[in-house]
């Protein structure tokens, strides 16, 4: 089961049990992962913490009940996990901007926090898109293998010059990196397996002074500007090719060449 399916499963469980006790350990157990990983991935995919989601959904439903039935305010408070009128009033006021009693008396329009569909939330572009929009280009397809004698130095170059992400997965007994991945999207998103891998596999070895990657991108002019803006001169200007596309080459810190093209 992918992370997308797993997080959606916990959201469905939350929605079915908003009137019951809920905590991160219990929710993580449903999808057989640690509480730490569950909370981290939930926040990335949903753009809010687990606690915020539960609290906001409860206060949304409490507000609806307050305006649409005659239950006592205290009964509504207890139903959604608040032990006293005072604690419910404080939380309700922070979320809706008005106390429960005034909201009922004046039939006030209240705030609403909708149930999240993880797939829709991600496609809506709420996950780390600020970083990606600043970079200005998106890699569409790739499958490169990259050799480097100093993986830490190369990873730093990709981050600073091209705005990529990455991590070193394996090191030898002297702490030299032997395998890693370079990603054009954040590692957390890549780990969700919601899109094909569009990064580079990095191995320790003698650099190849040739084209090591031929990558389809969207926003090739922005790619050129981004590298130049970050102080890298070993990037060619964008060229219109006879076959109808545009190309641009970047020579990396190791002397290898990444060739980008846009159709």
* pLDDT at residue 125, rounded to an integer: 41
Q: Is 141 in the same domain as 225?
A: yes
Using the structure block, give the residue that is written with the tokens 């496609």.
Answer: 123
CB atoms within 10 A of CB 72: 9
* pLDDT at residue 197, rounded to an integer: 65
Using the structure block, give the residue that is written with the tokens 């590692």.
Answer: 187
Residues in the chain: 263
Q: Is 75 in the same domain as 138?
A: no
3-state SS assignment for residue 219: coil
Question: Measured in Å, how far apart are the chain's first and last C-alpha atoms?
Answer: 35
Taking the C-alpha atoms of residue 82 and residue 185, their distance in angstroms, rounded to an integer, is 41
CA-to-CA separations, 63 to 19, 67, 69, 100, in angstroms, rounded: 14, 6, 10, 8
Q: Please give the average pLDDT of every successive group of 10 residues along the chain, which has 263 residues.
A: 84 94 92 87 85 94 91 94 94 93 89 81 46 61 76 94 87 86 74 64 88 84 94 95 86 93 82
Q: Is 73 in the same domain as 162?
A: no
Inside any domain, residue 223: yes
Q: Is 257 in the same domain as 139?
A: yes
3-state SS assignment for residue 148: strand
* pLDDT at residue 146, rounded to an integer: 84
* pLDDT at residue 19, rounded to an integer: 92
Q: Is 93 in the same domain as 169?
A: no
Provide the CATH number for the domain around residue 234: 3.30.1900.10
Q: Is 159 in the same domain as 86?
A: no
Identify any residues that bridge with 262 across adjacent strands, giving them in sequence order: 246
The domain tally of the chain equals 2
DSSP single-letter state for residue 18: T
* pLDDT at residue 128, rounded to an integer: 40
Q: Which long-range contacts (CB under 8 A, 24 or more apart) does 141-145 make?
A: 141/196, 141/198, 141/215, 141/216, 142/184, 142/198, 142/199, 142/200, 142/213, 142/214, 142/215, 142/216, 144/200, 144/201, 144/212, 144/213, 144/214, 144/215, 144/258, 145/200, 145/201, 145/203, 145/212
* pLDDT at residue 9, rounded to an integer: 93
Q: How far is CA 37 from the centre of its chain?
A: 14
Q: How far is CA 51 from the centre of its chain?
A: 18
Nearest Cα to 74, choosing from 63, 86, 64? 86
Q: Is 56 in the same domain as 141?
A: no
Provide the CATH number for the domain around residue 58: 1.10.10.60
Q: Is 257 in the same domain as 216?
A: yes
* pLDDT at residue 60, rounded to an integer: 93
């Amino acid at each position: 089961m992918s992370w997308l399916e797993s997080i959606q499963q916990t959201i469905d469980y939350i929605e079915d049990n908003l009137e019951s006790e809920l905590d991160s350990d219990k929710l993580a157990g449903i999808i057989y992962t640690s509480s730490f990983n569950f909370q981290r991935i939930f926040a990335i995919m949903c753009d809010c913490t687990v606690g915020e989601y539960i609290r906001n959904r409860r206060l949304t439903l409490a507000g609806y009940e307050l305006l649409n039935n005659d239950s006592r305010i205290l009964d509504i408070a207890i139903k959604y996990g608040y032990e006293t009128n005072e604690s419910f009033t404080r939380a309700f006021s922070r979320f809706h901007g008005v106390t429960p009693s005034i909201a009922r008396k004046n039939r006030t329009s209240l705030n609403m926090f909708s149930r999240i569909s993880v797939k829709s939330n991600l496609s809506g572009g709420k996950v780390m898109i600020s970083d990606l929009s600043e970079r200005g280009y998106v890699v569409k397809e790739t499958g490169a293998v990259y050799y480097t004698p100093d993986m830490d130095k190369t990873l730093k170059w990709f981050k600073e010059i091209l705005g990529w992400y990455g991590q070193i997965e394996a090191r030898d007994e002297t702490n030299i990196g032997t395998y890693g991945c370079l990603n054009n999207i954040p590692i957390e998103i890549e780990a969700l397996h919601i899109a094909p891998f569009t990064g580079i596999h990095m191995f320790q070895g003698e650099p190849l002074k040739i084209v090591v990657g031929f990558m389809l991108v969207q926003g090739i002019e922005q790619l050129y500007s981004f590298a130049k803006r970050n102080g890298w001169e070993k990037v060619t200007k964008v060229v219109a090719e006879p076959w109808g596309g545009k190309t641009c080459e970047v020579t990396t810190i190791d002397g290898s060449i990444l060739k980008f093209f846009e159709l």
